[in-house]
Structure 1
Amino acid sequence: MSAPEGLSLLSLGALALVVLTAFTVEAALGFGATLISVALGSMFVSIDALLPSLVPLNLGISLWLVSRYWQQVDVAFLLRRLLPPMALGLPFGIALYQVADASLLKRLFGTFLIVVSALELHRVRSARGADPAPLSRVVEIAMGVAGGIVHGAFATGGPMAVYVTSRAIADKGAYRATLCVLWLALNLVLLVSYGVSHQLDRGALVLTGALVPSCAIGLVLGEIAHHRVPVATFRAAVFVALALAGVMLVVRG
């Protein structure tokens, strides 16, 4: 296998391992692929080159999971409470991505990872297996809009959408399936945006193709983990890794 132009075989191999890990997490929990891929993958490829390559992969895994588990989707929650505020914030995030400095975006993203990871780890620790308290409607809407902005800028509003969804849906299967429908809708918008702005070019598609095997293996491993690993344990490990990745992004810039 040859590396895409400008990317060494060693860097491609490391990126493939990152993507495999990221999509294992995504298939297991319903979120995390872009967060982990960008946080760790940006050490080998710039964020502006990596994001357009990841969106088609995310669409593929979301489409696969939705096609298998569509009966578990909480349609009412998705259409009434989650998708509208995120759709409202999405255009602002896309605009931010187009004009902001790449180094600044990387530091902001790292700070964002540290904050949300710390909050989520605190919540997992304090909950101790209990059902989380529901959010107020105002907080829910604010988190949704913020998640849409982050998704437009970084192709992942995951932590915020996850935070909102985890307070509304207890069943892990419904939780994962509902999030997958959300990513499917938002990433279709991002795909069109990248296409119109000519960021989804030949180079991006070549990198996408090179990462397809990692995505496919991650999907299989994630499906196994979803049915066998306790969600709380798995989620805690994910956010520890994300917090560390955030620290690296802030330091490296």
Structure 2
Amino acid sequence: MDTAWIALGGFILLGFTLEAITGFGGTVIALALGALLLPIATLVPVLVPLSLAMGIVLAWRHRGHLDQRLLWALILPAMTAGTALGYVLRPTLDPAAMKTVFGLLVSWTAARTLWQRLRSRPPSHRPAWRSRAITFVAGITHGLYASGGPLLVYALSGMRLDKARFRVTLIAVWLVLDGALSAAFWLDGRLQTAWPSVLHYLPIVALGTWLGESLHARVSERHFETLTALLLLVTGMLLTFR
């Protein structure tokens, strides 16, 4: 295993620890940092099964907080349709262009999060149709990059969700979508190639899950989200202009 794959292990630990705390960000952090060293097309079939593994554990452990109505009525229909479209579009896109677009997306969502933190104002309410449209676009980014979290969080901003309900509902979304993507990767042959790397990184995901669970109730999510946004902003800029 060369230096790039060793570094990816550190990125996975960082990202999945933060996802266990907040409910999102694991794959996008690991992918954004990993894409500085490895092709996105190589990383996605490795990261998706790892996200699925963590989702199974956390969704089951915290199932009592799951918002079933929000999950099935609003999020999954739009996210599933968008993810399917992103999966179909991905082979037609240029890898260099994908990296640039992904960098711009990461930079925009990170900058928006930081701007909201500076303003210290709650997100404004938006119409349901607009939330569904943004959720659909989040699904497309999930199908392309397995990283629909930032846009989905944007789509859900303004809703009155407590911390525990928000986290486990997001985790349930990744559980369903990453399960579908893992099956698709198995059918198209990419998971068989990625499987040895997935097995290597599973203990790191387990460690990240344990760390995130330990820190979830002890540390302010606001501080973690701000640090995550700063990290993503720098990484997104590197991906865009590299």
TM range (shorter): over 0.9
List alignment gaps of at least 5 residues for structure 2. none
The number of residue pairs the alignment matches comes to: 242
- TM-score w.r.t. the length of structure 2 is 0.96
CA distance, structure 2, for counterparts of residue 178 and residue 242 of structure 1: 23
Deviation of 1:156 after TM superposition, in Å, equals 1.4
CA contact (8 A) 2:131 2:156 kept: no
- Kindly indicate whether residue 179 of structure 2 is the aligned counterpart of residue 198 of structure 1: no
1:104 shift after superposition: 0.8
1:14 is the counterpart of 2:7:
yes
Q: In structure 2, the residue corresponding to 1:240 is in which secondary structure?
A: helix
Query: Aligned residue for 1:165?
Result: 156
2:18 and 2:212 in contact (8 A); partners too:
yes
Task: Say yes or no: does 1:32 pair with 2:25.
Answer: yes
Task: Give the residue type in structure 1 aligned to 2:117.
Answer: V
Q: Percent identity?
A: 32
Shift of 1:244: 0.6
In 2, are the aligned partners of 1:165 and 1:175 still within 8 Å (CA)?
Answer: no
- Which residue is 1:143 aligned to? 134
Q: Aligned equivalents of 2:157 and 2:131: distance in 1?
A: 11
C-alpha separation in 2, matches of 1:169 and 1:199: 39
Whether 1:241 and 2:234 are equivalent positions in the alignment is: no
Give the partner amino acid of 1:123: Q
Q: Structure 1: how far apart are the matches of 2:158 and 2:212?
A: 23
Which residue of the partner structure matches residue 220 of structure 1?
210
Task: Please point out which of 65, 73, 89 is paired with 1:80.
Answer: 73
Alignment partners' CA distance in 2, 1:83 and 1:125: 31
59-68 vs 39-48, greater mean Cα deviation:
39-48
Name the counterpart of 1:95: 88
Task: Measure how far apart 1:135 and its partner are.
Answer: 2.1
2:200 to 203, 207, 210: 210
Conserved? CA contact 1:82–1:144, under 8 Å: yes
User: How much has 1:125 moved relative to structure 2?
Assistant: 2.5
**Partner of residue 101, structure 2:** 108
Long gaps (5+) in structure 1: none
Letter in 2 for 1:171: D
2:92 maps to amino acid:
V
- Partner in structure 2 of residue 153 of structure 1: 144
- With over 3 angstroms needed to count, the CA separation of the structure-2 counterparts of 1:185 and 1:169, relative to structure 1, is farther
Structure 1 pair 40/193, CA: closer, same or farther in 2 (3 Å)? same
Task: Give me the whole-angstrom Cα distance separating, in 2, the residues matched to 1:167 and 1:63.
Answer: 27
Question: Runs (4+) of structure 1 moved beyond 6 Å?
Answer: none
1:83 Cα deviation after fit: 1.3
Shift of residue 127, structure 1, vs aligned partner: 3.0
Q: 2:64 aligns with which of 71, 85, 101?
A: 71
Give the secondary structure class of the aligned counterpart of 1:170. Answer: coil
